[in-house]
């Protein structure tokens, strides 16, 4: 049984470290805002209609 408790303790520590790092990222990191421009080819906006027989 001690190995199960040791395993659960280690998994709990790892989960706590991951959770703590996620909380730190939320509170300490500020995203940088910037403009994003995406060029869309005119063929996608106005497709050429082909005649079907």
pLDDT digits (tens, 9 = 90+) for 5-53: 999 999 999 999 999 999 999 999 998 999 999 888 877 777 777 766 5
Taking the mean position of all CA atoms in its chain, how far away is CA 28? Answer: 17
Predicted pLDDT at 53: 57
In angstroms, the CA 13 to CA 10 distance is: 5
Would you give the DSSP letter of residue 13?
H
Q: Which pTM does this prediction carry? A: 0.55
Predicted pLDDT at 52: 65
Residue 4 has pLDDT above 90, yes or no: yes
User: What six digits make up the tokens of 15?
Assistant: 């989960």
């Amino acid at each position: 049984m001690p190995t199960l408790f040791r395993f659960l303790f280690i998994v709990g520590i790892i989960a706590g470290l991951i959770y703590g790092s996620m909380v730190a990222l939320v509170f300490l990191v500020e995203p940088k805002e910037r403009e994003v421009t995406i060029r869309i080819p005119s063929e996608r906006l106005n497709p050429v209609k082909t005649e079907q027989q």
